[in-house]
Chain A
Amino acid sequence: MLDVIDVILTKYNYIIYMSLMTLGLYGMIGKSNLIKKLIGMSVFQYSIFLFYISIADVEGGIAPILVEREVTYTNPLPHVLILTAIVVAVSTLAVGLSLVIRIYREFGSVDENKILMRLKDD
């Protein structure tokens, strides 16, 4: 029992990112609304960013912006990487949203089942 609590307390970042990831995956697969799929996709991506940020943490470290004082910084590299990855995520979201808009104009719905029915009708 104590072991379990210990694991939860020390590895809680992994638990959080895993549960967020599962949530996102569920949104992507389980929802039929395309916008909700995109939201799930974003949650999925951001859970991984959280994982990266959490592995960069140093005990008592602060955000890696230079200051004059003598301090411990967290590892700056994952922050830089995640900045790039966030830009990528945002562009993916933009592409996805524009696709959804065009799908809506074309099919008059953002519901996957209805769209597939309309496709079948053709």
Chain B
Amino acid sequence: MRETGRGIILRTNAKFMVPFILLWGLYVLTHGTSGPGGGFQAGVVLAAGFILYAVVFGLEDTQKIFPFKVVLVIASLGVSIYAWIGVFAIVCGGNFLEYGKIPLAHEAAESSKLGIEMVEIGIGLTVMAIMLSIFYTFVQRGD
């Protein structure tokens, strides 16, 4: 909040838009099986929301919500979700990523859908984290 006079319009609008954009990103993330959404798009939208926040309110504020280390952890976590669900399918007696064998629901098709959604969430988190980390590395001046 250093430049009080300048950019009032942008700042006030960003305050209003950022939560909606992020929530919309989460909506895309969770409705991957029923719409044109999915992990990649959702990750991009979420990252875009945070980038807007960073651009308008400064990098420090954003890194208060999302420090660089947390971004790295989320990226690892996302891929781990994907990998562990696959491994869990092996443990449940199927092949790798054979969601149908995971006992999430009564029917194989249903649990397969749930499995895909969970993987999508993992992908979304990873994409968001990778995008943000790229943004952070591009923006920070000097190493």
Q: Does A98 contact B (CB under 8 A)?
A: yes
User: Cβ of B138 and Cβ of A101 under 8 Å apart?
Assistant: yes
Chain A residues within an 8 Å CB radius of B137: 98
Known contacts A94-B134, A98-B134, A98-B138: A87-B40 contact under CB 8 Å = yes
A101 to B142, CA, bound (A): 10
The A interface is mostly helix, strand or loop, or mixed, namely helix
User: Cβ of A105 and Cβ of B142 under 8 Å apart?
Assistant: yes
Contacting residues of chain B (84-143) with chain A, CB-CB under 8 angstroms = 134, 137-138, 142
0/1 string, B17-46, CB within 8 A of A gives 1: 000000000000000000010001000000
Q: Does A65 contact B (CB under 8 A)?
A: yes
0/1 string, A76-120, CB within 8 A of B gives 1: 000000010001000000100110010001000000000000000
Chain B residues within an 8 Å CB radius of A105: 142
A97 to B139, CA, bound (A): 12
Option from B40, B134, B138, B142 in Cβ contact (under 8 Å) with A83: B40
Chain A residues within an 8 Å CB radius of B36: 65
A61 to B49, CA, bound (A): 35
In the complex, the chain A residue whose C-beta lies closest to that of B36 is A65
A121 to B24, CA, bound (A): 53
Chain A residues within an 8 Å CB radius of B40: 83, 87
A98 to B40, CA, bound (A): 21
Known contacts A65-B36, A83-B40: A97-B142 contact under CB 8 Å = no
Chain B residues within an 8 Å CB radius of A97: 138
With both chains docked as a complex, state the minimum distance between the C-beta of B48 and any C-beta of chain A, in angstroms: 14
With both chains docked as a complex, state the minimum distance between the C-beta of B4 and any C-beta of chain A, in angstroms: 32
A82 to B65, CA, bound (A): 34
In the complex, the chain A residue whose C-beta lies closest to that of B142 is A105
In the complex, the chain B residue whose C-beta lies closest to that of A91 is B130
In the complex, the chain A residue whose C-beta lies closest to that of B123 is A87
Most buried by B among A65, A83, A87, A94: A94
A35 to B142, CA, bound (A): 20
A5 to B40, CA, bound (A): 41
Sample (6) of A-B pairs whose CB atoms are under 8 Å apart: A65-B36, A98-B134, A98-B137, A98-B138, A101-B138, A105-B142
Q: Which B residues are closer than 8 A to A by beta carbons?
A: 36, 40, 134, 137-138, 142
Q: Which A residues are closer than 8 A to B by beta carbons?
A: 65, 83, 87, 94, 97-98, 101, 105
